[in-house]
Each structure stands twice: as structure tokens, then as C-alpha cells.
Amino acid sequence: MKINPFAPIKELQTALKEKKILRKELLEYCIARFKDYDHKIGSALEIFDKESILSRACAEGVLAGIPGIVKDVIAQKGRCLSCASKILEPFVSPYDATATARLKKDGALLIGRANLDEFAMGSSNETSAFYKVANPWDITRVSGGSSGGSAAAVAAGFVPWSLGSDTGGSVRLPAAFCGVVGIKPTYGLISRCGLVAYASSLDQIGIITRTIYDNALVMSAIAGHDLKDSTTCFVEKKDYTQKLDGSIKKGLRIGVIDNGLQVASMNPEIVAAIEEAVKVLEKLGATIKHFTLSAIEYSAATYFIISRAEAASNLARYDGVRYGMRVKSAESLTAMYEKTRYDGFGQEVRRRIMIGNYTLSVGHHAEFYGNAKKVQQMIRNELEQTFKEVDLLVMPTHSIPAFKFGTFDDNKLAMDLQDYFTCPANLAGIPAISIPCGFTKDTIPIGFQLIGPSLSEELLYQTAHAYEQQTPWHTMHPKKF
């Protein structure tokens, strides 16, 4: 049987079950895809050898024999865990993250480590200490960040699923840029045990796939309470694919955030694509209501302060003493700390650490971090009130399509504002999914978000799947791969 590189998981499962292909053959095919094409994209930091992959996976499970790749901030036992940073390049994880352990138990084949922005800090995947990640639709453009490697590998047809992490949009933005599906679940639905922390109160492991069904399938394997993570939700393990029948919930109310579509920097092609997506949802039977949310206007600044402050605290542990990189020549212990951190961290990471330390410093803590936490609560309250009037919200994922490499080299603020539409969900701890909804005239993907209240993943998947079944975007793939 000839393997379709863009086949959904369901199709691959059927082929494996009917023995039209063997697990070993599918694995070899995916490994070959990386070897043949990834030099153009840079989505993977490492692809493991076939024997070691097969030896670490169980034989049975929902994802048995299905290869995928994991962002290199999520621990895989016995594998390097670099966070795309020189400071952790030599570090080998002694344990599996809960998410990777559950995937292995379910039979999934973890094929390698996906590239990313260093320590998940970035919106374009240009800050990796090793190499940038290109967009499969146009390799002169970025894949989005920070989970750019995870999104690009799925979009290019190397693997059908991947894991990423989302602190302010790092799963959804690259998913939108690469024309695939990306979800940031409710905070605590997926265990963070084994996820290297960027901003602990905002971080969440997310899933990237080519279809909604595939995304829900992976979610079913890894979601649920974990004794190793006290922030996980007390929810029963469930099958998130059960309600994916092509219909939407009866009486579904969807709110459109008008001031999201009216932002001055919004690309008109993106606005038009989202307006068409809303028409499809209305045709499916949803009632559309229009809202203005002040939360959007304050979210980026609030996220900027909280994430940098928590990053400065979390990354203080990388000092060259216990693990990771250590400079060989230093006049004193303090000099060793300073030189190790300067040489080990890239420019963007150092910039965020410095900003974070400033916001937490004596005389500035209350002014910046303290006030940001108050605004965060206001954002949560406004969204909570909004969900009393509607079931889901529609919002852009991005204001501009995937841009050329180097576009924002001299404008870091503009780069930071790529998270403008995605960070509200992180600040509120609620789920959001990015779905493909069209292309620009240059054939660059466009995505939009559906956002729901806490633990509404089933409804998000049901609605997104119904939309997907009415549109062709999930069937369109880059032609060069």
C-alpha cells in the first residue's frame, strides 16, 4: 500500500488494523520524510533511530503505531532535552513527562524532538539556538512560534500529530501560520509534569494535527488528572471524539468579538476569511451575537509583564552548577554564573529575563507585576460574564499572515504583539482552538480561533469539526513536500 503523507490518523489506524501497512513500515516512511525534506524546513532537532522508538512504545492503544513528534520542552526519558538552547544542549532527561508517558502507554511512536523558539520564547521560531524553522507553504516565511517545529512537521506531512506548549499562543499561532489545527486546553486539563517551565501560571501543553478528529483523539490519550501535578483538573478520562458527527450543539450561541476584527493592523484578507467562517457557523445553525471586549486591549501588556516575571524566576535555576552547560574558565563562582548564563542563553531569552527581573525588583513589583495580576483577574471576570450570554467566542488567531524571516528584527514590540489575540485565553486559563479558514492571495494559510469557557473542549471540538466538514481547508496541503 502506498502511504499518503497527509493521511489522517483514522485512515492510518484502519490501514494498520487491516495489515495493509505495518507499524515498522509507517515509522520508516515518516523517518524517511524527515530525512528527505526537513533540511528545507528545520522542524526537528533530532529524529531517533527506528529500534529505540519501537522499543519504547506499548503494543496496544488508541494511537498504537502512529508516529508523532514532541516539542523539545517536554521530557522524554533518556533523550536530550535542550529547549533549543545552548545552556541545556547536553542535558538528558531522566524521566518522561506525564504526557509522553501516556502517549507511549497508548502505543504512540515518539519519533523525535521538535524545534522551537529558545525556551519557548518567541512568535516566529527564529530564536532557536540551532536553526530557524521555515513554513512548509513558503520556506522564505516563518512557521510561527514558539511551537513552529511541531506545526511545520505536521503541515509538511512528516507526522500526523505533534505536541507543543502554549504560554501566550505558541501552539495556536504556528498552527494558523502553517494551516493546521492547534488547541490550547483549559489550564490543568493536561499535566505539566515534565514540561520545562517558561511562565508556570500560563503554560499548557497543546496538540497540533491536520484534522479536528485527530486532535480530539490525541487529547483523549493525554488529558486528565495527574498526581504529579497539583494544578491538574479533577476530570475523568474521556473520549473527545464521541460528539464529532458533523453537527453543532442545538441552540449554540457564538459571540463575535468585533473589536478584534477592527484592529488597525488586521490584514483585510484575514478579516474576510473570518467573516466567511462565521457565515458557515451560522449556516450550521449557530446564533451569532456581536460583542466588544475590553479584555483584548489590555491582554498583551498584562501577558507581557506576567510572562517575563515568571520566566525570570523559572530560568534562575540555570546557573551551570547542577546540570546543563558550564563555562570552563571563570575567575570566581559569580563570574562562572554570569558567563554561563550569558553564553548559554540567546539574546531574546536574556532580554525577557532582564525585563522580568526589573518588574519584580524592589520599588517596581507592585507597579508592574502586582497591577498586571489585578488586570488579569479583570480579564477573567469579563470573559466569565461574556460566557453567560454565549457558548463560544470567535476571534482571529493572527492579524497578519506568516511573514518573511527577519521582518521584525528591528521591531521587538511588533513581534511581541503577534500574541495579541491568543494571550487572553492563557490569562483566563480557558481553552481555545485555532482552525484553518482560508488562504491569502499568496497561498499563505489563515486561521481563526474558537474560544470557550473552562473545560468546554468537547464543545469546541464538536463545533470546529462541524465547521471543518463544511470547508475544504483541511484537505489542502503544501505541494513541495
Q: Which of 71, 125, 121 is nearest to 403 (CA)?
A: 125
Q: Which of 270, 272, 280, 277 is nearest to 445 (CA)?
A: 270
Q: Are 243 and 359 in contact (CB under 8 A)?
A: no
- Supply φ then ψ for residue 430, to 5 degrees: -105, 160
Q: Count Cα atoms within 13 angstroms, Cβ side, for 117.
A: 29
Q: Does the annotation mark 170 as catalytic?
A: yes
The active-site residue out of 93, 123, 146, 454 is 146
d(CA 111, CA 101): 14
Which runs of consecutive H residues, i.e. helices, occur in 18-147? 23-41, 50-55, 98-105
- In the chain, the largest separation of any two C-alpha atoms, in whole Å, equals 70
Region for residue 477 given its phi and psi (left: phi exceeds 0; alpha: psi -120 to 50; beta: otherwise)? beta
Q: Does the annotation mark 329 as catalytic?
A: no
d(CA 272, CA 12): 35
Query: Cell numbers at residue 231, please?
Result: 494544578
Q: Does the annotation mark 77 as catalytic?
A: no
SS3 (DSSP) at 429: coil
Q: Are 461 and 244 in contact (CB under 8 A)?
A: yes
Amino acid type, 319: D
Q: Are 75 and 40 in contact (CB under 8 A)?
A: no
The active-site residue out of 71, 104, 132, 184 is 71
d(CA 66, CA 10): 10
The active-site residue out of 82, 170, 434, 454 is 170
Which positions are annotated as active-site residues? 71, 146, 170
